[in-house]
Amino acid sequence: MTRILALLLVAATLTACGSPPAEEPSQPEETQVNIPFRKDGTLTISRDDEVYLNLDIEIADTDSSRNRGLMQRDGLPEDSGMWFIFEQETEQGFWMANTRLALDLIFVRSDGTVQSISKYIQPMRTETIPSNGPAQYVLEVEAGYSDSKGILEGDVIAFERDASEAEG
């Protein structure tokens, strides 16, 4: 009996002296900012003078907003995109560094004609995607949108700012 009591006493002592379970060091959770979509206007796409598609657009018309583009976005609402406006029609080049979305880029001439379409551009890509001709506008939509909606080179795009956006 003393032997059993001694074993129990030793077991209790060893358990009490053991290291506490290792806790994970307390680290702040990585927070990924997700910028919400802001509707600044509407855009129509037509073919043979007939509108076949309407989109809500967020407008990027300053150096800062054009450089930021769709960075820090996890998605876009259905039938929406970002509309980039440049001062003049010229060869454009876009890159996807820090962009988490796969995108289609639709390059548009100053008269609204679709110049070219670059499809299924992968996220975080650092190579420049060229417009392959002069463009004054670029529409970014989620990858596959151009194919699913049948957007083609030669289609015509028109846009209109929301009244509140046009005033401010």
Per-residue pLDDT of the chain (168 residues; tens, 9 = 90+): 444 434 333 333 333 333 333 444 444 444 567 889 999 999 999 999 999 999 999 999 999 999 999 998 999 999 999 999 999 999 999 988 889 999 999 999 999 999 999 999 999 988 999 999 999 999 999 999 999 999 999 999 999 999 875 554
Asked if residue 15 belongs to a domain, the reply is no
Asked if residue 130 belongs to a domain, the reply is yes
Asked if residue 57 belongs to a domain, the reply is yes
What is this structure's pTM?
0.78
What are the structure tokens assigned to 77, written together?
Answer: 């609402």
CA distance 36 to 105: 20
Asked if residue 128 belongs to a domain, the reply is yes
Transcribe 16-54 into DSSP letters: HHSPPPPPPP--PPP----PPP---EEEEEEETTEEEEE
Angular region, 145: left φ>0, alpha ψ -120 to 50, beta rest = alpha
> Are residues 149 and 139 in contact, defined by beta-carbon separation less than 8 angstroms?
no
Which are the contacts of 141, defined by CB distance < 8 A and separation ≥ 6? 55, 76, 80, 81, 103, 104, 106
Q: Rounded to the nearest 10 degrees, how much is the dihedral formed by the CA atoms of 144, 98, 156, 59?
A: 130
Asked if residue 16 belongs to a domain, the reply is no
Tally of domains in the chain: 1
Residue type, position 68, single letter: R
Q: Which 8-state DSSP code applies to residue 69? A: T
Positive/negative CA dihedral, 43, 90, 103, 85: negative
The Cβ of residue 54 has, within 10 Å, a number of other Cβ atoms equal to 10
Asked if residue 10 belongs to a domain, the reply is no
CATH number for the domain including 126?
2.60.120.1140
Asked if residue 123 belongs to a domain, the reply is yes
Asked if residue 17 belongs to a domain, the reply is no
Which are the contacts of 86, defined by CB distance < 8 A and separation ≥ 6? 66, 92, 135, 136, 137, 138
pLDDT the model gives residue 25 = 41
Q: Which domain, by its residues, includes 92?
A: 35-167
pLDDT the model gives residue 163 = 85
pLDDT the model gives residue 31 = 57
pLDDT the model gives residue 2 = 41
Instruction: Tell which residue, 38, 39, 57, has the closest CA to residue 158.
Output: 57
Residue type, position 3, single letter: R
